[in-house]
Chains A and B, each alone.
Chain A
Amino acid sequence: MRSPKRIGRMSAPGRKVRLATAAMLLVATTVTACGDGKDDGEKASAPKAPATIPELTKDPLTLSFIWFDWPPAKALEAFANAEYKKERPNATIKVNTVPNANWHDAMFTQFAARKTDFDIAVLDSQHIGEAVTNGNILDLTDFVKENIDVAAYNPYLLAAYGQFPQAETGKRDENASLYGLPLLGDTWTMIYRKDLIGDKPPQTWDQMIAAAEKCQADNPGVSGLAFHQANGSDAAAVTYNTVNGVYGGNLWDSKTRKIDGVINDAAGQEAMDVLVNKMKPLTAKGSGNWFIDEVNAAVAQGKACIAFNWIAASGGLLDPKQSTLGTTREQILDKLGFATLPSQKTNLVPLGGMGMHVSAYSATANQTEALNFMKWFERADVQKKWAAAGGVPSRTDALESPEFLNAGPFNQVYTDSVPRMRDMWNVPEYARLVDIENTNVNAALNGAKKPKDALDDIAKEQQSVLDSSSRKGGGGL
């Protein structure tokens, strides 16, 4: 007969066996999950793409992009499948989209896993530094030299969507490496109600504010201004940066990596004061979380005299199904005007748009196809077709072509704005810098912080991020 003790309790050797088994399982799990650790130990750097395109596969292949969900993403997929397939019938283009707020995370969490389900990442220009430093995208310098006519572009556009380290505003460093090529150019356009403030758009920022003020007073229920104020993505940050640029401010001194004392200098303070105390009172109540869609909705519903939005997101404004301003495109255009941003102390405008970047973790056949697609896409004839399909090209000849200029009433605005563009910081710390600016500008716009305090906090916190590389622990707080 077995003793109860024997039945009820495991013997010492039995316990050891179980403990050993559990430990082995844990070790096995750890080893499996961590791989060989080689990736972690190696210093990251962007691998080079070949100068010439290797032989393309004849097998069916899906070339995947990742972008955020907005009309240009749908336009790209339709355009590429219609046109690129003529040359490469075995290739299918798939543009995967995520909500704008998840765009950065969706790409960089896959980069972190060293495995991507996309071949071409559509990165914001400011993401390039982070991706290059981590070795996530291919170095295209040699490929561009062999395959792309760089003289066909405004040098700054080519630099903004591909160069790292970041170029000085308006310039390109020809000795710097290129990691991407332009996909979609963009900047802000001023959208104004011709029927309410007149056909001639305001020329200066002061005039613009005065016109919005008068329009709001004359038209009850219509707010003077509509612009991005949300604390997600780069919404409120781009708004402040735009006003900062117009009033002669700077975001940082890139050579000395100095932000504190630069962004919050007298010009920066004046810009914040204009934004919070002169522009914000002219916006609709509760508009403190508005971004692209909300601004468009306000314009389409006739609730704003003057609005600012990205050109690439403005196409829907001309759709009578989405607008209360008219039953035809022409009727809407009788009421809506599109103009370049007013100037004040400078005529700077924000650089928007994105470039194409090849994932370092994509299969070789897909990387080769991606390079071939990019070479095809940057051809003069394709750029004009892209313009006609609703895209914003980057080649100068396409920007000045009738295909582009006649495709939309705001396209002339883009062409005129190209020499006036300024970008944000293109550094690995971009995501944190923009979050600090977004949350503080949003706080100032919504009364949670005084404008001066918000600007000083931006300067202090951003400087701390840039200076934190030597800090032991607590990075990211």
Chain B
Amino acid sequence: MPQPFMNTPPKPEKLGAMTAGFLQEAFAGESQASQKYLAFAARAADEGLPNVARLFEAVAYAESTHARNHLSVLGGIGDSSENLKAAFGGETFEIDQMYPAYDAVAELQGAKEARTSIRYAKSAEQDHQALYEATRTTVQTGEDMVAETINVCPICGHTVIGDAPGECPVCGTAGQFFRAF
């Protein structure tokens, strides 16, 4: 019997500057489509349309495969030590540069809900920055991090290693609603 054909995602290659620029934009577009469809799936489920919710979830996953393919061609996937460094750098930029600047604009314009959304994100990025930094140190010695549950607040994204707190220290959501990984 012939073996089924196992395909592999597109591979990294040396890119012309224009191709690299547009592939970055395509990665951004696919990433945003995927997140939109996940939010739309939750809305469809709330409206009692579980099959439409499933369609949105499946298509969100398809967009994730496209985002991964573009990222792969762009050479954006390293080994875990490099990936942790890239993740740490991204979180640091959001904490030091992006969210403070965005919050200043939202404050100036009196956008209360936008400020809440920004505050939740910035607070969680600080958790992530610390977790990535600690983990990278472990990986550089060739070891995995310790096996422990990780809990995430479904409202603000607050992230903790180990048990969920009684209530979220950032937004007050009860610990029972946290999603455990």
Chains A and B are bound partners: no
Query: B-contacting residues of A (Cβ < 8 Å)?
Result: none
